[in-house]
Structure 1
Amino acid sequence: MSSKRRTGGKNSRSKRAPGSRHTPALRPSSPPSPLDHAHAARECEKQAERHPEDREELLLEAADAWSDVGEYDRAVAVYERLLDPAGGGCEEPDLVDAYRIGVLWDAGQDEAARAAATTFRRRHPGHAGAWNFVAETFEAGNETAAAAEWFTAGITHALGAGTAVTVGSVEADPHHYDVEMLVIGRHRVRRLLGEPHDDWDEVADALHERRAAPFLGRVTPLDEMHDPLRLMRMAEGVPEGLEAAIEALPDELRGGNRPPRMPLTSTGVLYWPPEEFTRFLARWPRAADDYGSDHADHRRQVERTLRKLSEEGATRLTVGRATVSGLEAHAKAAGGSPDTPGTRSAYAAELARRGQVVEWPPPRNGSCWCGSERKYKKCCGNPVDG
């Protein structure tokens, strides 16, 4: 079974101590090999001993790397180190335990995973992100009915048993994004099960409509997005499914002659890849105040900015991969200075207009927007990095 590291986790805390000089994430620009993963895992475990202020983040990186290389027992052992209070424990044990359950599934240790999940549930944790992770683990294992139960239980535990599940109660929750993902995940698996709509599904529809980016004035309903036949056809590349999806697009996107009803706008955020980030700060060092002083901080800042914009209701969010030469060319053409936030914002808007951006957030199992070629859920979309 594939790991189900979430795309969400917007409200999880960053594990990196402010001002830390250590950069634990080892993310090569080319796809890492098994040897790269094993080396990264060992190095992170060593660094955890040397940098106790970053211990939790480093050990989480190590466990993830061991899992990626198929060394599931070693990954589980690292998670158990984090869960052991005698060894220092961790800030979010419920989330770490959810990761451990996912790795047990990946290892094919189904009974151990079920037992760990049962123990998790008996604790009645309130961490919405952890509940979502475990629910998605069951969903990935094709245990759809069990996943529906987990999503439902997660909502109840996150909001409180006596709280009515409404759009207002979800949005008022301090961790509303994670709760929203539980509500929408429940809708998804119930749709797969053929269950009739209930009140909570109506809430999912309303939340989706409020958050989704309108596509030329039309928001695709959740029922349509979660239609089992459509998902199967699109995932498998069945020609009929692709043709139907293309046919459903507005005429102007299929080459028709109808005038556009409204412009397709987006909100873009600049991301500087590692080499460009180094050049950028060397040229304009004051920009470190806006973009961070090292690249790991910069990636986290971009992800946090996108999440904040999403929570504030911004639609069609995108990431533009910035270059120093591109910024300079834009500044020259526009008559501005590259060393000002206004020029850089205009440069981001220009990249979006030209389509030189990637949509955010990526699919759960899609490649991360940062270009690491890791899955988003295991890279910038990892809750512990948020």
Structure 2
Amino acid sequence: MRPDTPADHTTEAERLLRTAAQYPEDREPLVLRAAAHLELAGDRARASTLYDDLLAAPESAVENPHLIKALKAANLWEYGHEAEARAIIEGIRAAAPPDAAPWQVAAETLEAHDELESAHDFFSTALTLLLAPGEEVPYATQSLLTGRHRVRRLLALPHDAWDELAGALNTAPVPLDELHDPKRLWSLGSSDPAELAAEITRLRAELGTYRTALSRPFPVAVLHWPKEELRELLTAYPDLTEEYVDHATHLSRLEASLRDLHAAGTPNLGIVTGTVPSYEAFAASEATSPTTTALLPQYATTLAARGRATPWPPSRTAACWCGSGEVYGVCHGGG
């Protein structure tokens, strides 16, 4: 059941913080989720404290410092600390992080406070940095295209190539031009039944998109065993040999599974890396034998929920997920 009231959100935040203490290796994603619930509970000052606590850790221990800063800026702006929020956002721009999330949070913060030109510039700068011409658009980057399209509609700017790409990637039953039409606000006050019916259809499509995102707050993840871990796993549990055969077969099947999911339209795909001690601990927590093959996808889902998933597919010029040292386009991304 999803938290609905401020008290529910506070309770969920406390649960996540306890889990973070139990799993220190996953502290950052769990604390970020706790901070989000505290914001929803209205306890923005405490949420800021959590962001500060994460940023106070040694630099090597912080996985996503720019995302944490962006979330902190968004939170600060909401409770009267605009100047500090702006300074953080400009710092993110100067740092030019190589992942989409901090750019999106910062741009949407500017948009939420009617800084449309600045938001447009932020979205555009991010896409220039992250979107390689001719490459398939990574899932995480698609939201930047969508956000930029929305802001450009609000600014009454003509379509450009990125707007066309955003429209082509849109999976909602209602086109982006309709979803992002500024006149929609006026439709809600219309006395024309046809206009109201059309707006209800658009809102339902938009709500469906949000529900999909809420129901899957972490990637659909496939389990990857590094070579030495797989050898240890099969030595300890030979009954799993039928599931994995050998390491090369395991890697090929993993890539094929992800491609099948992608072809079926499944968004937000990822890979989680297993270790034998972690898997054994998970099996013990489930009171199940590690040889139970049905436990493997549950283990993968749990790792993804704890923030351990790596998005798939990587760029063709990025290192392959398998750890071979080759670029993805030459390794498992070839063909």
TM-score, structure 1 length as denominator?
0.49
CA drift of 1:206 comes to: 3.1
Give the Cα separation in 2 of the matches to 1:125 and 1:99: 14
Helix, strand or coil at the partner of 2:61: coil
Say which of 251, 255, 265 aligns to 1:314.
Answer: 265
Equivalent residue for 2:178?
224
| 8 Å Cα contact 1:136-1:147 kept in structure 2 | yes
Q: Percentage identity across aligned positions?
A: 35
- Indicate the residue corresponding to 2:291 in structure 1: none
Which residue identity lines up with residue 64 of structure 1 in the other structure?
A: A
Shift in Å at residue 238 of structure 1? 3.4
Indicate conservation of the 8 Å contact 1:82/1:89, yes or no. no
Which aligned pairs between 1:218-257 and structure 2 lie closer than 5 A?
A: 220-229=174-183, 231-234=184-187, 236=188, 238-240=190-192, 243-244=194-195, 246=197
- Displacement of 1:87: 8.0
Partner of 1:184: 146
Answer whether contact 2:32 2:51 (CA < 8 A) is retained. Answer: yes
Q: Which residue of 1 aligns with 2:284?
A: none
Cα deviation 1:1-53 (Å, max 9, x = unaligned): xxxxxxxxxxxxxxxxxxxxxxxxxxxx3644333433443444344334313
- 1:81–1:89 CA contact under 8 A, matched in 2: no
Q: Comparing both structures, which one devotes a greater share of its residues to helix?
A: 2
User: Match of 2:185, SS?
Assistant: helix
Deviation at 1:309, TM superposition (A): 7.8
The one-letter amino acid paired with 1:49 is: A
Q: Could you say what secondary structure the match of 1:179 adopts?
A: helix
Contact 2:149 2:166 in 1 (8 A): yes
Does the Cα contact within 8 Å between 2:48 and 2:76 map onto a contact in 1?
yes
1:198 counterpart (156, 160, 167): 160
Contact 2:48 2:72 in 1 (8 A): yes
> Is the Cα contact below 8 Å between 1:187 and 1:201 reproduced in 2?
yes
Equivalent of 1:71 in 11, 31, 43: 43
Whether 1:100 and 2:72 are equivalent positions in the alignment is yes
Residue in structure 2 matched with residue 86 of structure 1 by the alignment: 58
Cα distance, 1:90 vs. partner?
Answer: 2.7
Corresponding residue to 2:169 among 182, 207, 211: 207
Equivalent residue number for residue 10 of structure 2? 38
1:131 match: secondary structure = helix
* SS of equivalent residue, structure 1 residue 105: helix
- Tell me, in whole angstroms, the C-alpha distance in 1 between the residues paired with 2:8 and 2:310: 21
Write the mapping of 1:1-386 to structure 2, written as runs, cut at 5 A.
Answer: 29=1, 31-86=3-58, 89-159=61-131, 163-164=132-133, 168-169=134-135, 171=136, 173=137, 176-208=138-170, 212=171, 220-229=174-183, 231-234=184-187, 236=188, 238-240=190-192, 243-244=194-195, 246=197, 311-312=262-263, 314=265
Distance 1:150 1:107 in 2: 22
Name the SS of the counterpart of 2:153 in structure 1.
Answer: helix
CA RMSD of aligned residues (A): 3.8
Residue 67 of structure 1 contacts residue 103 of structure 1 at CA under 8 Å; is this kept in 2?
yes
Q: Paired residue for 1:264?
A: none
State the alpha-carbon separation in 1 of the partners of residues 200 and 89 from structure 2: 42
Report the CA distance between 1:151 and its aligned residue: 0.8
Structure 1 residue 140, shift from structure 2 partner: 1.7
Deviation at 1:314, TM superposition (A): 2.9
Q: In the comparison of the two structures, how many residue pairs are matched?
A: 221
1:132/1:178 contact within 8 Å kept: no
Unaligned runs of at least 5 residues, structure 2: 202-211, 216-257, 268-293, 295-304, 312-335
What displacement does 1:142 show? 2.0
User: How far apart in 1 are the matches of 2:116 and 2:53?
Assistant: 31
Normalising by structure 2, what TM-score?
A: 0.55
Per-residue CA deviation, residues 37-86 of structure 1 (Å, 9 max, x unaligned), is 33443444344334313322331232122212222121112112222342
Task: State the AA in 2 paired with 1:191.
Answer: R
Equivalent residue letter for 1:233: W
Q: Is the 8 A contact 2:110 2:119 kept in 1?
A: yes
Distance 1:99 1:116 in 2: 10
CA distance in 1: counterparts of 2:20 and 2:142, whole angstroms: 34
Structure 1 residue runs without a partner (length 5+): 1-28, 251-267, 272-306, 317-340, 342-379
Distance 1:109 1:238, change over 3 A: farther
TM superposition outliers: structure 1 runs of 4+ over 6 Å: 247-250, 307-310, 382-386
Distance 1:58 1:207, change over 3 A: closer
